[in-house]
Chain A
Amino acid sequence: MNEVAVVRAGALTTFQDCGRPGFAHLGVPPSGAADPPAFRLANRIVGNAADAAVLEATLIGPALRFARPALVAVTGADAGATIAGHPLERGRAAEVPAGVVLELGGCREGVRAYISVRGGFAVDATLGSRSHDLLTGLGPPPLREGDLLHVGPEPARPPQRAEIVPARGEPTLFVVPGPRDDWFPSEALAALTETTWRVAAASNRIGMRLEGPALARLDRGELLSEGLVTGAIQVTSGGLPIVLGPDHPTTGGYPVIAVVVARDLPLAGQLAPGSSLRFAEYHAAPKPGNV
């Protein structure tokens, strides 16, 4: 079995997979990769099963030394990955020779890079998932310097050629108003979609905090705790929005003014602190009429 030594852990590098959907009623967050398409691409390129565990690097990536040759790929943000100092193109499989270091640097064009290895990272699952959950601590802990990681058995599937990582569009996140838009004056929803918001430094996998004008709230007392989804935009008592990430609490009492549509969650997962974004109201494309 191949061993991978963590030479440098990076700012926050965690194991991620498809997460723990189905346990929210027990207070367990969904967790899983913050940029699911980049996660899936990383596994596809090296021929892994779709739910194999990868590493999610945040802001500054790790350096990993492989004891034996391994096929790896890096997707998501551009982390300037190198193998023995030679650049590794994003979204391309490459072999790391025995004893050689795969090194990631600072992330550009996003904040999260995904590192896959053919065979997947072999690490124990908790509630069916190898994802580290920042809120609850479930799953394997984040990488630390000196850790030894293990690679799983060779998958049957050959490595796949993958399309180039698509360029990210304008940072506009589409939202469906509600479920608690009636806890706000109409000006607040207008302000949500007319403001250019800034991602606050105190943002993480639990939630992306935004800086901008405080959103007014109607005086309706305190909201009783209710279920939350990833992408929900909670408005704190101070009026500032928080876009919930994959490790969000499963219930909460801040009113949710709108929810980011599933399609745009990967984009939210790649927004850097200090960057700007806008919201726009989502109108579903007309579908063929129901029978």
Chain B
Amino acid sequence: MTATVRPAGDRAVLVELPDSSAAVRLAQALTDRAEFVDVVPGHRTVLLTWAGERRPQELEALVESALGSGPPPGPVRRIEIPVVYDGPDLDEVAELVGLSPDEVVRRHVAAKYVVAFLGFAPGFAYLLGGDERLEVPRRANPRERVPAGSVAIAGPYSGVYPRDTPGGWRLLGRTSTTLFDPEQSRPALLEPGDRVRFVAL
């Protein structure tokens, strides 16, 4: 088995996997299982939590068979996010990676992203699959307020801030797309496994 099951207290385990796509696949396979309260993918992990004292039976076997199964049934969700690339960090990013601002935008738009996991804030999706040339560290001094809709990068990730929050990622642009609305039946626009493209306006 390529997965390692680690304890996370007495009502959860953290399953460690070789890569993000295995984590997304396992999370998708287990997310509707009644024995779990929450199924939370991370970058290379899936956290499985349950209610009550009883550990779900045959947990390791369940994980193994879920990993062995194919992709989940149903169409892959593809989402396009329109972006105005006028972010305050665009020039700095261009300088850091040794490209022109136009080339940074071209590469950010050309990449095909996958939602690896969510966190930080409701609806904040960590997107993998970006151009490796655009990997930049977080800002040394995070901003106290990043406006909602900011399209940003840090390390291997791209993301969109669902609402005004403090934040340390580098801002390339902005979108008017709503990322999180708790009144909707599907509150988060982006869920693990979704495919995402950015479209320059």
The reply to whether the CB of A186 lies closer than 8 angstroms to some CB of chain B is no
* Chain B 119-135 interface 0/1 with A at a Cβ cutoff of 8 Å (1 = within): 11111101000000000
8 A-B pairs with the lowest CB-CB distances in the bound complex, closest first: A227-B47, A251-B119, A259-B9, A226-B42, A227-B40, A224-B43, A179-B6, A179-B14
Known A25-B27, A26-B122, A27-B121: A251·B40 in contact at CB below 8 Å = yes
Which residues in B have their C-beta under 8 angstroms from that of A22? 37-38
Chain A residues numbered 111-129 whose CB sits less than 8 Å from any CB in chain B = 126-127
Which residues in B have their C-beta under 8 angstroms from that of A208? none
Known A224-B44, A251-B120: A232·B37 in contact at CB below 8 Å = no
**Shortest distance between the CB of B61 and any CB in chain A (Å):** 13
Which residues in B have their C-beta under 8 angstroms from that of A261? 9-10
Whether B45 pairs with A21 at a CB distance below 8 angstroms is no
Q: List 24 A-B contacts (CB under 8 A).
A: A24-B47, A25-B38, A25-B191, A27-B121, A27-B188, A126-B182, A136-B122, A138-B182, A176-B10, A179-B6, A179-B14, A224-B42, A226-B43, A227-B38, A227-B40, A229-B9, A229-B49, A232-B8, A249-B119, A250-B118, A251-B42, A259-B7, A260-B9, A262-B9
Whether B123 pairs with A26 at a CB distance below 8 angstroms is yes
The reply to whether the CB of B11 lies closer than 8 angstroms to some CB of chain A is yes
User: A27–B43 Cα gap in the complex (Å)?
Assistant: 14
Which residues in A have their C-beta under 8 angstroms from that of B188? 26-27
Chain A residues numbered 27-43 whose CB sits less than 8 Å from any CB in chain B = 27-28, 30
The reply to whether the CB of B101 lies closer than 8 angstroms to some CB of chain A is no
Whether A227 pairs with B120 at a CB distance below 8 angstroms is no
Chain B residues numbered 1-54 whose CB sits less than 8 Å from any CB in chain A = 6-14, 27, 31, 37-47, 49, 51, 53
Q: Is the interface of A mostly helix, strand, loop or mixed?
A: loop
Please tell me which one of the listed residues B10, B31, B51, B182 contacts residue A25 in the complex, with CB atoms under 8 A apart. Answer: B31
Whether A127 pairs with B187 at a CB distance below 8 angstroms is yes
Whether A251 pairs with B117 at a CB distance below 8 angstroms is yes
Please tell me which one of the listed residues B31, B40, B51, B180 contacts residue A250 in the complex, with CB atoms under 8 A apart. Answer: B40
A residues sitting closer than 8 Å to B (CB atoms) are 21-28, 30, 126-127, 136, 138, 175-180, 224-229, 231-232, 249-252, 256, 259-263, 282, 284, 290
Please tell me which one of the listed residues B14, B40, B53, B57 contacts residue A24 in the complex, with CB atoms under 8 A apart. Answer: B40
From A138, A177, A232, A251, residue with most partner B Cβ within 10 Å: A251
Of all chain B residues, the one with the shortest Cβ separation from A222 is B155
Q: Besides A179-B8, A225-B119, A226-B14, 13 other CB < 8 A contacts?
A: A21-B37, A21-B51, A23-B38, A25-B38, A26-B188, A179-B14, A226-B43, A227-B47, A259-B9, A262-B9, A262-B10, A282-B10, A290-B57
Whether B182 pairs with A226 at a CB distance below 8 angstroms is no
User: A228–B11 Cα gap in the complex (Å)?
Assistant: 12
Which residues in A have their C-beta under 8 angstroms from that of B6? 178-180
Whether B7 pairs with A25 at a CB distance below 8 angstroms is no
What interface size band does chain B fall in?
A: 35 or more
**Shortest distance between the CB of B134 and any CB in chain A (Å):** 19
Which residues in A have their C-beta under 8 angstroms from that of B191? 25-26
Please tell me which one of the listed residues A28, A228, A249, A263 contacts residue B47 in the complex, with CB atoms under 8 A apart. Answer: A228
Whether A256 pairs with B42 at a CB distance below 8 angstroms is no
From A178, A224, A231, A282, residue with most partner B Cβ within 10 Å: A224
Whether B10 pairs with A227 at a CB distance below 8 angstroms is no
Which residues in A have their C-beta under 8 angstroms from that of B149? none
User: A223–B169 Cα gap in the complex (Å)?
Assistant: 17
From A126, A177, A227, A282, residue with most partner B Cβ within 10 Å: A227
Whether B40 pairs with A25 at a CB distance below 8 angstroms is yes
Please tell me which one of the listed residues A180, A229, A252, A259 contacts residue B119 in the complex, with CB atoms under 8 A apart. Answer: A252
Of all chain A residues, the one with the shortest Cβ separation from B162 is A27
**Shortest distance between the CB of B198 and any CB in chain A (Å):** 20
User: A141–B47 Cα gap in the complex (Å)?
Assistant: 30
Which residues in B have their C-beta under 8 angstroms from that of A282? 10
User: A138–B123 Cα gap in the complex (Å)?
Assistant: 12
User: A251–B40 Cα gap in the complex (Å)?
Assistant: 8
Whether B119 pairs with A27 at a CB distance below 8 angstroms is yes
The reply to whether the CB of B192 lies closer than 8 angstroms to some CB of chain A is yes
Whether A27 pairs with B9 at a CB distance below 8 angstroms is no
**Shortest distance between the CB of B77 and any CB in chain A (Å):** 14
Whether A225 pairs with B43 at a CB distance below 8 angstroms is yes
Chain B residues numbered 151-201 whose CB sits less than 8 Å from any CB in chain A = 180, 182, 187-188, 191-192
Whether B187 pairs with A262 at a CB distance below 8 angstroms is no
